[in-house]
Amino acid sequence: MRSTTAFPTRYTKTQMPAPPPILKTDDLVFLRAAIAEAHAAEAAGEVPVGAILVGPNGDILARGNNRVLRDHDPTAHAEIVALRAAGQALTNYRLNDCTLYVTLEPCAMCAGAILHARIARLVYAAPDPKAGACGSVLSVLNHPQLNHKLEVTSGLLADDCSALLQNFFRARRNAAS
């Protein structure tokens, strides 16, 4: 006898509803720790972006915040600072099975470093409509021709992180005028 069960409607890629973000147990805890790093960057006069690198066992391996101005280094973004510190701590540039938490969508440079380090998962809060390389402007991560794929979760605490950045740049503009 033939089943009369109705199959769900097929969606095209553009029609398919967006899935809710995958929220792991400690995502908000680690993202709040990244926000604390962003505040540390802001206190030092840097753009307030923070990052936390968590190992497979759930321990924080490294922290980073923007240090571009302090270090006179265009590569000293929060993600790179955290990746470097984790590599030193593990004595390995491969950071397999680690999760990176960032307050702002990574740029192309940082996305490339994340891929090269073989990060398993990226969680970022606010999208970056000017330089984001995880879908906002570019799609560097999970490009079909690359050999490393990672899980990406975005949007958690996005309003908080966006407000932090907007307030920083508003204060900077007001100080300049």
Are residues 59 and 30 in contact, defined by beta-carbon separation less than 8 angstroms?
no
Q: How many residues does the chain have?
A: 177
- Selecting among 37, 42, 46, 79, the annotated active-site residue is 79
Establish whether 37 is a catalytic residue: no
**Dihedral angle sign, alpha carbons of residues 77, 83, 84, 86:** positive
Count CA within 13 A, CB hemisphere, residue 56. Answer: 8
Q: How far apart are CA 48 and CA 41, in angstroms?
A: 5
Q: Which residues are catalytic?
A: 79
